[in-house]
């Protein structure tokens, strides 16, 4: 999992026009935290009356998601909910809040939700890739100048988590 994380951080760094090691160094230089969450959504006879997971963005930097073949993940795009089609044996990569902050908004944290299915059990496995709690996260200095001022405040990841969990404005 750490090799996949390193490769993703390298590619995303290069996508910002930066050296491939920049994001990794700002994410704790290899000391990233991995949290796994397994979601199970039983069949629901009236799925229009239930929501698996309410709309949210992930507070991590990246989320790696694997699911069984039952659809349910939706992304908010162009003012509409769009269903995600899963590919067999594929990993879905989601940009989270910390990546949006580090990139000064060049990468966007994705608003998403999860729906239940009328007839089939849906299971998903999510691995959240985050900086250590004490890591100070803010827009990368290389991406901030007079034409592109910082769009986000700088704080520790632990403080960010506390504020998000308690619905305190960032």
| Contacts (Cβ under 8 Å, ≥6 apart) of 166 | none
Chain-centre distance for alpha carbon 23: 15
Q: Which residue among 7, 21, 37, 118 is the active-site one?
A: 37
| Active-site annotation holds for 58 | yes
| Active-site annotation holds for 151 | no
Among residues 86, 107, 87, 88, which one has the least CA distance to residue 97?
A: 107
> Alpha-carbon distance 28 to 26, whole Å?
6
Count of CB atoms within 10 A of residue 59's CB? Answer: 18
Q: Which residue among 24, 26, 97, 112 is the active-site one?
A: 112
Query: With the CA atoms of 55, 75, 155 and 27 taken in that order, what torsion angle do they form, in degrees rounded to the nearest 10?
Result: 130
| Active-site annotation holds for 167 | no
Q: Which residue among 6, 56, 106, 155 is the active-site one?
A: 56
The residues annotated as belonging to the active site are 37, 56, 58, 112
């Amino acid at each position: 999992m750490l090799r996949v994380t390193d490769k993703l951080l390298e590619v995303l760094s290069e996508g910002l026009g930066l050296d491939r090691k920049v994001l990794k160094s700002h994410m704790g230089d290899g000391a990233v935290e991995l949290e796994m969450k397994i979601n199970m959504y039983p069949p629901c006879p009236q799925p229009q009356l239930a929501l698996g997971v309410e709309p949210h963005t992930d507070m991590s930097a990246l989320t790696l998601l694997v699911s069984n073949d039952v659809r349910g993940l939706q992304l908010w795009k162009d003012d509409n909910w769009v269903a995600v089609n899963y590919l067999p044996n594929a990993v879905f990569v989601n940009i989270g809040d910390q990546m949006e902050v580090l990139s000064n908004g060049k990468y966007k944290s994705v608003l998403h939700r999860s729906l239940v299915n009328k007839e089939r059990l849906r299971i998903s496995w999510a691995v959240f890739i985050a900086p250590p709690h004490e890591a100070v996260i803010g827009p990368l200095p290389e991406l901030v100048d007079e034409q592109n001022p910082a769009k986000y405040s700088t704080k520790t990841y632990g403080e960010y988590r506390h504020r998000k969990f308690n619905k305190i404005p960032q």
